[in-house]
Amino acid sequence: MGMYVINGGHRLEGELKIEGSKNAVLPILAASIINGRESIIHNVPYLKDVNTLLGVLETIGCTCSFQGNTVIVNSRGDLDINIPDKPVREMRSSIILMGAMLARFKKINITFPGGCEIGLRPIDLHLSGLRRLGAKVVESHGYIQCECDKLYGNEIHLDYPSVGATENIMLAAISAEGVTTIQNAARESEIVDLQNFLNKMGAKITGGGSSTIRIEGVNQFHDVEHTVIPDRIVTGTYAVAAAITGGKVILRDIIHEHIKPIISKLEESGCEIYRYDKDISISCNKRPNAVDIIKTMPYPGFPTDMQAQMMALMCTAKGTSVFIENIFENRYKHAEELIKMGANIKIEGRAAIVKGVTKLTGAHVYSRDLRGGAALVLAGLAAEGTTIVDNVDVHIERGYENLDKKLNSLGADITKEK
Ligand SMILES: CC(=O)N[C@H]1[C@@H](OP(=O)(O)OP(=O)(O)OC[C@H]2O[C@@H](n3ccc(=O)[nH]c3=O)[C@H](O)[C@@H]2O)O[C@H](CO)[C@@H](O)[C@@H]1O
Ligand SMILES: C=C(OP(=O)(O)O)C(=O)O
């Protein structure tokens, strides 16, 4: 179990280029199955989740190479429709392989995905969407068998704008006969990136980024080359790192539109923000103010994936903040660990009440999920003394490329130990 040993109290200063988005690249890698040809994907972050998914693609018969931040996937020939269990249990987003395999082979056998650390995370919307396209889905003893002779376009109304369900349906529908519309679709920026990738491959999709996505089925796909969008959650995490240490950091190669809800809360807390073309500067030269209320919402609302990091910041703020976690029912595990560092947090169901304290103190804490782990690292940067964040390779490294090294390049003092 890897751990970060953080000597707190260093003000961060400098600049960083933001890596490609985990949540954009994972469905794009799954989608690279569909063309049966070559996909060249740039700006791929070097992450545990990316390696796990590339491992699955190789196991089922693709060839994949990772050079610098470019991945080349060759999906020519027959692929194995039986997806290995272990990686699917490790990484929830492997469920996106369903839509991709149905689009190309009309068949997939896969286990139920694991990773329930932030909530139950059912996949009923994925399965009902695929059924609406004509797939026969049999669920038995934790396994899913899904097949059809052909997929047919249909109208699909999602009860909730699920990101994964929207992606799975988009993937399956691109080769269906006729037109599919997804109503109440997720609007996240990663959906738009997937649409762009698929269209470059020959798909006919419009509406990504709005609540209605229209997919006209086609049956010819070609080679594709694409650059993944920057990670808006990683951007937000480094922005909070600047704020919590009273530092000044310039984040390069970002997309302003994608980080608006995060930046707006940082401005409310007193950070100074300057926007340049593709860069942003964040500085905070006084104790941050508490932000009244932070409610997580589907995009373009405040992202649940930034709730924990913002909570770390509010632990050190002047005043009281209230968080309402609307997306996942069990996403406050970091609170218990922050309390070990001296934070004052009370949880009432979906609400967390955070009274800012003047000082956090180093402690031995456990990363229980990806963003919660990142929040503990942020708290450790601001804390007096030494913080040990345990379990970093299980969680944090799923979604951050060299978090320790990148923070050290800005002046942090973090050592990774086994
Ligand atoms: C790899 C990836 O992109 N992960 C992101 C994706 O996860 P993911 O795609 O799993 O998130 P969803 O948008 O599907 O989930 C949102 C909510 O809908 C519920 N739900 C979802 C599907 C379903 O069939 N039934 C159902 O009830 C979930 O339990 C959850 O409460 O979006 C989340 C919400 O922005 C982010 O936190 C994750 O980082
Ligand atoms: C919850 C997250 O990811 P995943 O859906 O891959 O578990 C996340 O990125 O914060």
Average pLDDT of the chain? 97
Q: Tell me, what's the pLDDT at 92?
A: 87
Helix (H, G, I), strand (E, B) or coil at 141: coil
Please enumerate, by residue number, every residue annotated as part of a binding site: 22-23, 92, 121-125, 305, 327
137-195 pLDDT per residue, tens: 999 998 999 999 999 999 999 999 999 999 999 999 999 999 999 999 999 999 999 99
Q: Are 288 and 315 spatial neighbours (Cβ–Cβ below 8 Å)?
A: no
CA of 63 to the centre of ligand 1 (A): 29
Q: Are 238 and 18 spatial neighbours (Cβ–Cβ below 8 Å)?
A: yes
Quote helix, strand, coil % in the chain, to nearest 5. Answer: 35, 30, 35
User: How many CB atoms lie under 10 A from the CB of residue 277?
Assistant: 5
CA-to-CA separations, 92 to 56, 131, 248, 363, in angstroms, rounded:
13, 20, 35, 30
Residue nearest to atom 33 of ligand 1 (CA): 163
Give the C-alpha separation, 294 to 311, whole Å.
9
Please enumerate, by residue number, every residue annotated as part of a binding site for phosphoenolpyruvate: 22-23
70-74 sheet: strands from edge to edge: 63-67, 70-74, 38-42, 224-227
Ligand 2 atom closest to the CA of 328, numbered from 1:
1
Q: Tell me, what's the pLDDT at 63?
A: 98
pLDDT band at 117 (very low <50, low <70, confident <90, very high): confident
Give the C-alpha separation, 121 to 295, whole Å.
19
* Ligand index nearest the alpha carbon of residue 24: 1
Residue nearest to atom 9 of ligand 1 (CA): 164
7-62 pLDDT per residue, tens: 999 999 999 999 999 999 999 999 999 999 999 999 999 999 999 999 999 999 99
Q: Tell me, what's the pLDDT at 162?
A: 98
62 counts as catalytic = no
CA of 298 to the centre of ligand 1 (A): 9
Catalytic residue (choose from 62, 64, 116, 146): 116
User: According to CATH, where is 3.65.10.10 located in the chain?
Assistant: 3-18+230-417, 22-227
Give the C-alpha separation, 189 to 362, whole Å.
36
Strands 351-355 and 155-157: unpaired
pLDDT tops 80 at residue 212: yes
Q: Quick check: CB of 190 below 6 Å from ligand 2? A: no
Architecture of domain 22-227: Alpha-beta prism (3.65)
Per the structure block, which two tokens stand in for 117? Answer: 């650390």
Q: Quick check: CB of 276 below 6 Å from ligand 1? A: no
Q: Quick check: CB of 355 below 6 Å from ligand 1? A: no
Ligand 2 atom closest to the CA of 304, numbered from 1:
10
Q: Tell me, what's the pLDDT at 90?
A: 86
Per the structure block, which two tokens stand in for 31? Answer: 């989608």
What topology does CATH give the domain 3-18+230-417?
Answer: UDP-n-acetylglucosamine1-carboxyvinyl-transferase; Chain (3.65.10)
* Reported ipTM exceeds the 0.95 cut: yes
Q: Quick check: CB of 93 below 6 Å from ligand 2? A: yes
Residues sharing a CB contact under 8 Å with residue 353, sequence separation 6 or more, in sequence order: 320, 321, 322, 323, 345, 346
* Tally of CA atoms within 13 A in the half-sphere of 314 that contains its CB: 27
Q: Quick check: CB of 328 below 6 Å from ligand 1? A: yes
Pocket test for ligand 1, best of 118, 160, 189 (most atoms within 8 A of CB): 160
- To the question of pTM greater than 0.90 for the whole model, the response is yes
Per the structure block, which two tokens stand in for 208? Answer: 């990504």
Q: Quick check: CB of 395 below 6 Å from ligand 2? A: no
Sign of torsion, CA 355 356 358 361?
positive
